[in-house]
Structure 1
Amino acid sequence: MNFRTLRAPAVVAAAAVLLTAIGAAPAVARPAPAPTGLAADVTAHEDGTYDVAATWNAVPTATSYRVALSKGSTTLASTTVATAAWSPTVTAAPGNASLSVRAVVGRKPGKAATLTVPLADVTAPQGSYSSSWDNGTGLATITQDALSDNAGLPGITRTVDWGDATIVDWPSGSTITHTYTQLDARYAPTVTLQDAAGNVRVVDVPAVDLNDVGPPTGSFSAGPATGWADLTEVTVTQADISDDRTPPELIARSVDWGDGTTTDWSTGTTVSHVYATAGQFTPTVTLTDEADNSSGALSTSEVVVTADTTGPTVRLTLPKSKHSVKAWKTLRGKAVDSETGVKKVSLRAVEKRGSAWYGYNAGTKKWLKASTQAKAFARSKAFALKTDAQHRWSATLAGLRKGTLVYKVRAKDRVGNASPALTHQAKLSRR
């Protein structure tokens, strides 16, 4: 009787413990529903990029959203955002992309909302062409050197305007021909390309210049008349240029600088060059029109280039007080280069305090501890100083204390010649 009476409460107690344990278990978060109202506004650019502005209705329980834009098996962009909007810029071929958005509660993503995003084709085809002709017969040929389109070549149509009121379709092949009836004239053909999406590009073809035998003319000058090797920019300036048929902007120009260097001069009325060695040079300009008539070498003016082979001279300006920390906080001196001029003055400083050395970092203005003078110089960072109109330079040391100050100064000129390092030592025993 007692056994049964005692056992029943034990079972009840065990059940109570079980119920308590079950009741204490945390609630399992349900996956967030798929976002609603998913929309995307796409702006297409001719360079093949797309700005996609995606929005959706916020999910009340969401802590973030996982978003992705993909095309086929390729992910164009993906990330996690905190708000119900996303604006990636992607590069892709035209076609349909898929936008996916999942609401995340804590770390658990919910169901995905998806949207098909059309990526429109707004990029016109590209092509390049060359021309050739027979002066005797007037037979001209246009050759296609390259053709491309972001959506592929099928569907591209070509139309040729020969520049004499003749316009024809170019259905196939890499060349097309036409016979001009007037054999003493310049013609400027064009090729119009159109892809399947209706994007159009008109490409200029090099002119057909029948029986043009007159070369271009022009006048040019070079300056300055003197300069330094590896430093001075010598500039050729165009005063005038002309041709009987070729427009001035289409006349090809080439500059021979006289030192084995040739520069194609494509734009502007000036072109510059820096000579690497000393000597006397007279740049020449060659002009070529669309019919390949050449002016020959047109002289400019002579330039005398001198080499600077010596470094600057450095001098220290020492304070009158030889042992005062205050007097040595700012280090001064002069650096002079009578040829190309001083580019910068480099100064490194170290100080011995007791048995330890310290290297000065000019960037952080801190002293870095080292065991030897050589290691202190290795840990230091140099000042890069400029000189004023009187060739003076100065450097201020923050946190200078009593001890033995050692500093090294070196200057470089504008072509890289360096002065010998100048070292000075001062024992600072009072403030």
Structure 2
Amino acid sequence: MPKKYLIAAVIVAVLALLLPSIILKIQEQTIQSSLPSWEQTEKSHFGTLAFAALDDELETQAGKLRFIKELQGAVQAGAFFIRPHPSKIFTWGFIEKEKGRYDWTITDWVVGTVQRYNVHLLVTIFTWNPWDQSGATFDGWYLREPSDWDGYVRWLSALVERYDGDGISDMPGLRYPLRYFEIGNEIPFGQGNEVFIRLLKRSYDAVKQANPDAVVMNGAIRYEEVDAFLSAGLGNYIDVFNTHNVSDEEIPSLEAKVGKPVWFSEILPGDPNEEMGREREYEVARRVVEVYPRVLSLGVEKVFLAQPRLAFGIYGEGILSSTYHFLQERIDFFDRTETFAVNGVTFFRFVVGERSCVVTAEWPGGPSGMPRCEISMPTEAATVIVTEATKPEHKSWTVQAQDGHAVIDFRLTDDPCLIIEEAW
């Protein structure tokens, strides 16, 4: 091969290797230009799962690129809290691969990378450790009691201390604290789970001693098992009660029982490797508009979408990503909420500073009820802008209010998920 062709081939090969990194770097600069501060993003109510099974793969450039791509997709869609799940990144055996020797290389890279985007992590703590527990095989429901409890506690204390932002033994370059820790995942509590009881108590004490400002929560407990959880005295060992997909009717009772903030660290679960067809993507997008406003208006503090690699345009057509972002931009960081119903349709009003936005996600009369019709929505605004939520083009129309009401004509759309911005 002539030398000039060989040089050209080498240049092309190098560019092929560098191009993905260059593109992601350009995207990072674009995203960073419009990011809220990390102090503001910590107040966000919108979260997601991500980084499924990205563990040892993060030692490779391909793994790092996939991590950044998913991170950017989540941030562009408006998810400022991310729960790495199912993941070993923050497990005991991943960091302390040899007894007494901590390797923070990948964990530091993960924390430093997400902090460039002002993202906050909800870290799931697992006891997984092959040298401590014979035959330990990791999965997203790992619940094994440490053989060396003192070793586990030392590791967890070191983890919290490294990322607490107090200037003592901190990760180099840490910009803000890593404060949110979930102990285990989807705990089968029933009449009591003695292993989890010990684990939560010991873990809570270790985390709080290292960082009194840390927020500790249980791995998700079902509503039916809350009484047993509280009877075991575990309400004193959490700052947030964590669950998945509790029904609307159960949320007020749950909040009254636990007396702590409630998070949903997963909703709308799905196979992280599921292919996102157009119909499926619309289905999940509609569920986001149905579920998020409803549970947030009932007092749930943060909600995490459990559609990690599907959610943010990685495999889909952008329908879910667009819907999620459109909703988040309009109702996140709200000051207060109001719920009201007209002709059987429930409306959720979110007041954000001096503006307000109303969300609905149901046809008048239900899918098989009365024909789509007009509804006179009460409003103090002079004008409302009605927009389709689940369509990427977000078709909208303006309605002039009269006598304290705006007539919403459902016959103008085939999308029951509408976002109604009130213009004063």
Higher helix share: 2
Structure with higher strand content = 1
State the TM-score, normalized to the length of structure 1.
0.20
Q: TM-score, normalised by structure 2?
A: 0.21
Which protein is bigger by CA-based radius of gyration? 1
